[in-house]
């Protein structure tokens, strides 16, 4: 199977320890912000599903970074349920058939901790986990879902991978084939539980009768792309965080605005220094680099649903055989714990897993 099918690069990318430390600071600083009780009050009103504070966190958050010419890391976006951890693992261990023991134990622990916090019982243990996505068997990352199912099954937890339409609501609980679902691992991209097929899950979430991770609250506080707009206002950090942390985050957040707040003529004149993103995009869908943008496409953007972000050019990695790849870096995270660090190599406008010899790659730490 070639890399266009696996999304795994054969190359190794260098990452300085200083840059990694900067990335870890950003992750932990934003987590501290998200746990500040005054933070939600400073945001635009969150959707109803995100206003429920469930008291737990979200598994497999993903923080994506570029590094600018001054070696300052820049946070490009935050992802709920960042996909690709299994690819990242296999960039180090090509023949792996499951998560390595140490990583598997750590991952399993994050799910168990979520459930225990949800139940407010330090001894609680889920009996049945549903991994959900839209038509999961058709998804590119379905093999990764199978690896997670294997991890849970080996821990004695019955697990299914299903479409949310297969879930039935009864007596304020969720069921799959007459078995109560204790925990939902949400691989679906509807993190606010808006869509019709997610309504049974949304109702259970409102009643707090099922543990859902990642959950709408954390998505609203950290991973909704409009948070990048809020974080571009220095007053937010200054009023909620210690000065050192506020200053550190301000350096790491590229200026991001909603198109409707700007003069379209002014934005067009500086488009080559900008990236345009839909507020609800994922996997780089609908993202346009300004210097490749046509006037017609620009005029088609919905000003209320388009982010205009300062363009931070990706690092260029030159491989041993002379190939050049654009490079970004992803940290997989649970609260303040770094689960994995990897790079992604690609060619073209935006990050993708289609570039020959591109994809998730291992890193080598250095000075």
For residue 298, being part of any structural domain is answered with: no
pLDDT of residue 351: 76
Residue 114 in any domain: the answer is yes
Q: Is the peptide bond before 214 cis (omega within 30 degrees of 0)?
A: yes
Position 295 in a domain: no
Task: Dump the DSSP string for 59-75.
Answer: SSEEEEEEE-TTS-EEE
Per the structure, the count of domains in the chain is 1
45 is a domain residue: yes
Task: Describe the crossing of helices 85-92 and 142-154 by its angle, rounded to 10 degrees.
Answer: 80
Residue 76 domain-assigned (yes or no)? yes
pLDDT of 366: 85
Sheet containing 158-162, strands listed edge to edge, beginning at the edge strand earlier in sequence: 158-162, 128-132, 183-186, 211-213
pLDDT tens-digit map of 292-332: 889 999 999 999 999 999 999 999 999 888 899 999 999 99
Kindly give the confidence (pLDDT) of every residue in the chain, 367 residues in length, as a single tens digit, with 9 standing for 90 and above: 344 456 899 999 999 999 999 999 999 999 999 999 999 999 999 999 999 999 999 999 999 999 999 999 999 999 998 899 999 999 999 999 999 999 999 999 999 999 999 999 999 999 999 999 999 999 999 999 999 999 999 999 999 999 999 999 998 899 999 999 999 999 998 999 999 999 999 999 999 999 999 999 999 999 999 999 999 999 999 999 999 999 999 999 999 999 999 998 999 999 999 999 998 766 557 789 888 889 999 999 999 999 999 999 999 999 888 899 999 999 999 999 999 999 999 998 777 777 889 999 999 998 7
Residue 85 lies in a domain: yes
Q: In this structure, is residue 181 part of a structural domain?
A: yes
Alpha helices (H) along 216-258: 216-218, 227-231, 234-240, 243-252
Give the residue ranges of DSSP H helices in 94-215. 101-119, 142-154, 199-207
* pLDDT tens column, 207-227: 999 999 999 999 999 999 999
SS3 315: strand
Host domain of residue 39: 3-226+316-366
pTM of the model: 0.94
Q: Is 152 helix (H, G, I), strand (E, B) or coil?
A: helix
* 240 neighbors 38 (Cβ within 8 angstroms): yes
365 Cα distance to chain centroid: 23
Q: Which alpha helices (DSSP H) does 120-192 contain, by range?
A: 142-154
Query: Can you read off the two tokens belonging to residue 282?
Result: 């994922």
Cα 128–97–57 angle (5° rounding)? Answer: 45
**Domain membership flag for residue 237:** no
Q: What is the model's pLDDT at position 348?
A: 81
Q: What values do phi and psi take at 327, rounded to 5?
A: -140, 130
Rounded Cα–Cα distance for residues 221 and 240 (Å) = 14
Ranges assigned E (strand) in 201-350: 211-213, 256-258, 274-278, 288-289, 306-310, 315-318, 324-334, 337-346
Dig out the tokens for 186 from the structure. Answer: 């949400």
C-beta atoms surrounding 36 within 10 Å:
14
Main-chain phi, psi angles of 281, to 5 degrees: -80, 160
């Amino acid at each position: 199977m070639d890399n266009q099918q696996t999304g795994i690069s054969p190359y190794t990318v260098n990452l300085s320890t200083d840059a990694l430390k900067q990335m870890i600071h950003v992750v932990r600083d934003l987590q501290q912000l998200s746990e500040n009780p005054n933070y939600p009050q400073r945001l635009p009103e969150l959707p109803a599903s995100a206003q429920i504070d469930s008291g737990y966190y979200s598994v497999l958050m993903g923080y994506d970074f570029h590094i600018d010419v001054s070696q300052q890391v820049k946070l490009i976006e935050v992802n709920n349920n960042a996909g690709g951890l299994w690819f990242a693992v296999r960039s180090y261990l090509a023949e792996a058939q499951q998560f390595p023991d140490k990583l598997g134990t750590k991952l399993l622990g994050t799910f168990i901790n979520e459930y225990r916090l949800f139940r407010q019982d330090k001894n609680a243990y889920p009996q049945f986990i549903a991994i959900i996505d839209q038509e999961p068997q058709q998804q590119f990352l379905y093999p990764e879902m199978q690896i997670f199912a294997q991890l849970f099954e080996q821990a004695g937890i019955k697990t299914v991978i299903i479409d949310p339409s297969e879930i039935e609501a009864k007596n304020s609980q969720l069921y799959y084939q007459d078995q109560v679902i204790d925990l939902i691992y949400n691989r679906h991209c509807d993190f606010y539980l808006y869509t019709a097929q997610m309504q049974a899950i949304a109702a259970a979430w409102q009643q707090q009768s099922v543990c859902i991770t990642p959950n709408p609250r954390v998505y609203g506080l950290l991973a909704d792309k409009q948070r990048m707009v809020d974080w571009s206002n220095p007053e937010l950090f200054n009023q909620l965080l210690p000065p050192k942390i506020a200053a550190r985050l301000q350096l790491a957040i590229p200026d991001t605005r909603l198109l409707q707040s700007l003069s379209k003529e002014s934005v067009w004149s500086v488009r080559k220094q900008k990236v345009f993103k839909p507020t609800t995009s994922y996997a780089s869908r609908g993202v346009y680099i300004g210097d490749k943008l046509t006037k017609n496409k620009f005029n088609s953007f919905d000003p209320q649903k388009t982010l205009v972000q300062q363009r931070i050019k990706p690092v260029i990695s030159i491989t041993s055989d002379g190939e050049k790849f654009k490079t970004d870096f992803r940290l997989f995270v649970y609260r303040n714990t770094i689960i994995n660090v990897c790079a992604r190599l690609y060619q073209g406008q935006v990050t993708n897993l289609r570039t020959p010899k591109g994809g998730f790659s291992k890193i080598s730490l250095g000075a």
